[in-house]
Amino acid sequence: MTVTSQEPGPPRRTAPPRRSRPSPIALGIAGLIVALHVVAWNATGFSPAALVAGWEGIADFFDEALPPDLSWADVVKPSIDAAVVTLGIGLLGTTFSVPFALVLALLAARATTRGSITYQAARSVLSFLRAVPDVVFALVFVTAVGLGPFAGVLALVFHNTGVMGKLWAEAMEESDLGTRDALRVAGATRTQQAVHAVLPTTLPQLVGLLLYRFDVNVRSSLVLGLVGAGGIGFLINQSIKLFRFDEMVTHLLVVLALVIVVDQLSALIRRRLGA
């Protein structure tokens, strides 16, 4: 008796298509990206060797900075007070930019705006506000209202309007437009469509982006302090100028606590809102 053995394995099927090779365009783009990095390396004087050679300087810095100065009256309490001011700059800079960002976002989203002229104009305003760094806005407003946190708030309002307006407009454009169409069929005006369809369906994303920007703005307000907008950034700048690195480390620890608190608070609100 002859036994015919069968090869194990799956039955024969149509062969899967071969993956296509990268196109010359894709290879060209990859080459361009590499070339840009080489140029950037040279332009910035990027040198790991210099970092290694200068390790003694870093060691001296840590020697002077540690342990941090934890004297309550002279360092810690002023640091906490200044952190509250920094938090206030970030909070008001975010909140006061909401109405401007909302109006511009509605005008800059194709889901909610009618004419292309309005759309392009709103996009241009947002691009301008986004392109000017908040530090530059702060320097401009310092000349108008003097040194202090108010200049920082104004700077953040302007810059954040540009960034948040753009992010919100993108979120609205990516939203499901079916609800808007349902109301459009019912005869709702553009404003009613925005208020009763686009905004409520994108609300979780908008709130999520708002909290993200609050997080970023609190950290930005630190930097604004370096150019005279007050807050804990101002104290860090003073400590560096006076070579009081132990004070500076204390301020940085307060900043770390502030950032963690803001981050956790944002995450909590996002979870509650389902954003």
The whole-angstrom separation of Cα 233 and Cα 241 is 12
For the CB of residue 189, give the shortest distance to other proteins in the complex, in Å: 7
Q: Do 199 and 266 contact (CB within 8 A), yes or no? A: no
* Contact region with other proteins (CB under 8 A), list: 51-59, 76-84, 164-172, 194-202: 194-202
192 binds other proteins (CB under 8 A): yes
Q: Which position has the token pair 């909290």?
A: 211
201 binds other proteins (CB under 8 A): yes
For the CB of residue 113, give the shortest distance to other proteins in the complex, in Å: 17
H helices within the chain, ranges in order?
Answer: 24-43, 48-53, 55-65, 77-95, 98-107, 116-131, 134-145, 149-173, 178-185, 190-193, 199-224, 232-241, 245-273
For the CB of residue 197, give the shortest distance to other proteins in the complex, in Å: 7
Residue (95 or 192) nearer to other proteins, CB: 192
Dihedral over Cα of 91, 96, 102, 105: its sign: negative
Dihedral over Cα of 123, 128, 133, 136: its sign: negative
272 binds other proteins (CB under 8 A): no
- Answer for which of 133, 200, 267, 268 binds other proteins (CB under 8 A) is 200
For the CB of residue 275, give the shortest distance to other proteins in the complex, in Å: 12
Residue (103 or 131) nearer to other proteins, CB: 103
On the 0-12 / 13-18 / 19+ scale of CB atoms within 10 A, 54 is exposed
Residue (193 or 250) nearer to other proteins, CB: 193
203 binds other proteins (CB under 8 A): yes
207 binds other proteins (CB under 8 A): no
Considering all CA atoms of the chain, what is the largest pairwise distance in Å, rounded to the nearest integer? 105
Residue (132 or 269) nearer to other proteins, CB: 269
H helices within 45-115, ranges in order?
Answer: 48-53, 55-65, 77-95, 98-107
For the CB of residue 164, give the shortest distance to other proteins in the complex, in Å: 21
* Eight-class DSSP state of 140: H
The whole-angstrom separation of Cα 68 and Cα 77 is 14
270 binds other proteins (CB under 8 A): no
99 binds other proteins (CB under 8 A): no
Residue (80 or 188) nearer to other proteins, CB: 188
196 binds other proteins (CB under 8 A): yes
Contacts with other proteins by CB under 8 A: the residue count is 20
* Eight-class DSSP state of 275: -
Tokens, residue 19: 């993956």
- Answer for which of 47, 71, 191, 264 binds other proteins (CB under 8 A) is 191
Binding to other proteins in span 150-189, by CB under 8 A = 176, 178-179, 181-189
106 binds other proteins (CB under 8 A): no
Residues that bind other proteins (CB under 8 A): 176, 178-179, 181-189, 191-192, 195-197, 200-201, 203
